[in-house]
Amino acid sequence: MNAHDSSIDLSAYFERIGFSGPARPAPTLDTLRALHLLHPQAIPFENLDVLIGRQVSLDLDLIQRKLVTERRGGYCFEQNRLFRSVLQTLGFRVRSFAGRVLWGREAQDMPPRTHMLLLVDLDEGTYLADVGFGGMTLSAPLALQTNLEQITPHGAFRLDDTDGDAPGYILRALVNGAWTNVYRFDLGPQYDADYETANHFVSTHPQSIFLHNLLAARLAPGKRLGLFNRRFSVHDEREGSDQRELDGVADLRRVLESELGIRLPDSPDLDAALARLP
């Protein structure tokens, strides 16, 4: 169903996420949990390339250069392509699928498949792995079981069966005491060519949220950090949530670099793009 990537630089990736375990850890649930926690705390979600008019490539070598060597971030197709490649290189059995984003939408909406997610088959069962969903990115794999509240280092999640004629799953997050839809997916096969098409849509279509808005996020121990245009949000598991509006390009650059950990692209178009944000 998906190509097996074999050109991943494990040592560089482990250094990037701060993994201090063995050079080639065994493909176990403990390993998956360790990598899944570290990855979104080190490699932020961001769409700066789309915002400044650069093409987003899904070539693995270019993703590694951007997210690992250049210490940038990326969105789901880049993040989960990289994570899939790491897991496959370690010997995990990984399958990738496509989701329909429900976050921020009306319950009855049926949007296109614009999100990439992974399923990892282990002796203990099948687990959902996803290191690329912005401010609601998972920090732990979830057992592919429905009607089960699963606690992660960054909140509670649940998988439910979809209703109607299209069988599948809905990922929900517990937000302010209410179960909130994140995305829905089924187990229909997806190929790398499908992700290329979806990537082209989200990076070029006028209706794509990425085209005219800045989205950036990172996890930290006990915290979720998120930036939507000029609104910077910090959700602390113990202290609650705080939001503030950033003032000008300099403030945006500072938060992107120091709070979200993004090494900003060297582009003459960046400041102009940041200045245009609503």
Query: Is 10-275 a CATH 2.60.120.260 domain?
Result: no
Residue that has been written with the tokens 């065994």 in this structure: 26
> What is the pLDDT at residue 166?
72
List, in sequence order, every residue forming a beta bridge with 161; answer none if it has no partner.
169
Catalytically active residues are 76, 115, 130
Give this prediction's pTM: 0.95
The SS3 assignment for 88 reads helix
User: What distance in Å separates the CA atoms of residue 128 and residue 118, rounded to the nearest whole number?
Assistant: 6
Query: Where in the chain are the domains?
Result: 10-275
User: What distance in Å separates the CA atoms of residue 68 and residue 90, rounded to the nearest whole number?
Assistant: 17
Q: List the pLDDT tens digit at each of the 278 positions of the chain.
A: 555 665 899 999 999 999 999 999 999 999 999 999 999 999 999 999 999 999 999 999 999 999 999 999 999 999 999 999 999 999 999 999 999 999 987 656 788 999 999 999 999 999 999 999 999 999 999 999 999 999 999 999 999 999 766 789 999 999 999 999 999 999 999 999 999 999 999 999 999 999 999 999 999 999 999 999 999 999 998 888 999 999 999 999 999 999 999 999 999 999 999 999 99
Q: What's the order of all strands across the beta sheet hosting 223-228? A: 45-46, 215-220, 223-228, 231-236, 240-245
Write the CB contacts of 205 (distance below 8 Å, at least 6 apart in sequence): 211
166, 113 contact by CB (below 8 A): no
* DSSP summary character for residue 146: B
3-state secondary structure 48-78: HHHHCCCCCCCCHHHHHHHHHHCCCCECHHH
68, 16 contact by CB (below 8 A): yes
